[in-house]
Amino acid sequence: MTEAVSENSEVTVLLVDDNPQNLKVLYETLKDKGYRLLIANEGEKALDLAHRHQPEVILLDIMMPEMDGYEVCERLKADSQTADCAVVFLSALDDLQAKVKGFSLGGADYISKPFQSQEVIARVKTHASVIRLERELQARNRELQSDQARILNSISEGIYGLDENGLIEFANPAAALIMGAPVEELIGRNFFATHFATAGDNPDSLPVKATCQQGVAENQRDIRMLRADGTGFPAEYRSTPKLDGDELHGAVVVFRDITAELDSERALEEARHLVQEQRDQLAHTSRLTTMGEMAAGVAHEVNQPLTAITNYARVAKRMMAKETADMGLLQETLDKIEAQSHRASEIIRRIRRFMKKPVTGKEVLSVSALLEDTRQFAEVDMRNNKGAIELVVPDDMPDVMADPIQVQQVALNLIRNALEATSSVSSAAPVEVSASRQGDTCVRIQVRDHGVGLPEDAEEKLFLPFFTTKDDGMGIGLSTCRSLIQAQGGDIGFQRPEDGGACFYFTLPVAGAQGAPCTPEDAAPKA
């Protein structure tokens, strides 16, 4: 028997019967219904056609010589290529046992002989539709599974699917790579025993345990896990419960080896420490430079009380050399000696405090006290430049959190620059040092001079290292100032007043204020 095929069909129907007359009837019944029809008159031929064409529906006669319909059906269902086809048995047998046997072997339906055309058409149509839909659904599922597999295979993090006891049901290639073992070897292992050396000591407290058994999601970093060969590695993992509705079926664990990440973090931290050390050294060098520039004035300032002490001591000696000493005048002279010694001591204290390296870090500072201390320290520059300083700090100014030495260094640097700029144009206007509040989290301190101002192209380079507008400057002052202020959580900037001169400002965070550190936007003057 040869096969007959109707073209342009979407559904393939295989007709199997050893009786040519029955085949003809079936063919005539279905030939104009849009099906692709295949015909076989014996079992082996039917199996061959079915294997090659995977028909949706097979109308299969039971009573055939050599191989009956039951055996054909059994072999069709055993073959993965034909297992999903709908087998509709054809037989004159009408007993219940024959039908039960047919269904037990995978048959989908039963048509009794002699055939009724309408019944054959209706049943073939129904089963063809069902099979087509099932095949489309299976194809879609395979496509989704393929997409899912590609996604899981492309993820660099290891992924496990665990049952409620921690047995590994699924592992992606990244998990195998991290573990140093094939996926096949990971499947079936116990997650806890495989990854944690202490699994037997306190099993209830193991990572992911609560997710598997209680549905509690977890997330931990820098936890030590074991590879398949027993070596350890630092890991980060996230575990989420695997749920089917409200029923818990274990956990999904996403993990990764963070050895390289931790090494990078340590290297970065070391680099930060190195940068901080270099910044502190540069700041200290800047302070030494400032003191070198102020040395003559400081020596003069210290020499004044020492000279006064010497003179008062001579006066006291002369008074004591008299037969009748004026004890009241002697007491007054000694008080003056004490006062001048305190003055000299205070000058030296300020110098020593300014010179030392900061050791305590940030502390709560009074803005007015800090600026007044700086103003006193700048008295040498005031005399040298024949200038003055006007200090304006509102009474309700909040304290700031900063390093006093570093902030004083910045303020002194700006004040000295302002005094020199004002002196260069022979202006008698004082340098204005003021503080104002910027929002709830910042205090802005600004130093305004009445000099010639800065060149138009200076603003972009002003705080860059080694840029200077002075003939004898090294260009590290403002660059160091910016580093120092940024280390306090503030910012430093420059504005060009409309009436000339220059205005430098920096911001500092208010002590105890919650929120982000001061930003350039915070430093902008409020309307």
Predicted confidence band at 114 (pLDDT cuts at 50, 70, 90)? confident
Among 329-338, 439-448, 468-477, name the one with the lowest average pLDDT: 468-477
- For 155-261, CATH number out of 3.40.50.11740, 3.30.450.20, 3.40.50.300, 3.40.50.720 equals 3.30.450.20
For residues 470 and 443, is the Cβ–Cβ distance under 8 A? no
Domains of the chain by residue range: 12-152, 155-261, 264-355, 363-509
Q: Per the structure block, which two tokens stand in for 272? A: 């930060």
Predicted confidence band at 199 (pLDDT cuts at 50, 70, 90)? low
Predicted confidence band at 133 (pLDDT cuts at 50, 70, 90)? confident
* pLDDT tens sequence across 13-46: 999 999 999 899 999 999 888 889 999 999 999 9
For residues 231 and 257, give the distance between their C-alpha atoms in angstroms, rounded to a whole number. 12
List CB contacts of 238: < 8 A, sequence separation 6 or more.
217, 218, 219, 253, 254, 255
Residue 334 CA, chain-centre distance (Å), reads 68
Whether omega before 358 lies within 30 degrees of 0, making that bond cis, reads no
- The pLDDT assigned to 324 comes to 83
Predicted confidence band at 4 (pLDDT cuts at 50, 70, 90)? very low
Predicted confidence band at 6 (pLDDT cuts at 50, 70, 90)? very low
Predicted confidence band at 522 (pLDDT cuts at 50, 70, 90)? very low
pLDDT above 70 for 520: no
Q: Which fold has domain 264-355?
A: Helix Hairpins (1.10.287)
Domain 363-509 listed as CATH 3.30.565.10:
yes
For residues 418 and 277, give the distance between their C-alpha atoms in angstroms, rounded to a whole number. 29
Mean pLDDT along residues 428-450:
92
pLDDT above 60 for 229: yes
For residues 9 and 36, is the Cβ–Cβ distance under 8 A? yes
For residues 64 and 86, give the distance between their C-alpha atoms in angstroms, rounded to a whole number. 19
Choice between 58 and 280, residue whose per-residue pLDDT is larger: 58
DSSP 57-126: EEEEES--SSS-HHHHHHHHHHSTTTTTSEEEEEES---HHHHHHHHHTT--EEEESSP-HHHHHHHHHH
Per DSSP bridges, beta strands 247-257 and 232-244 are antiparallel
**pTM of whole model > 0.85?**
no
Cα within 13 Å of Cα(483), Cβ side: 18
Predicted confidence band at 359 (pLDDT cuts at 50, 70, 90)? low
pLDDT above 90 for 217: yes
Quick one: DSSP state of residue 246? T
Q: Which fold has domain 12-152?
A: Rossmann fold (3.40.50)
Which whole-number Å values give the CA distances from 423 to 293, 420, 467, 488, in the listed order? 17, 5, 22, 31
- The pLDDT assigned to 357 comes to 62
pLDDT above 80 for 166: yes
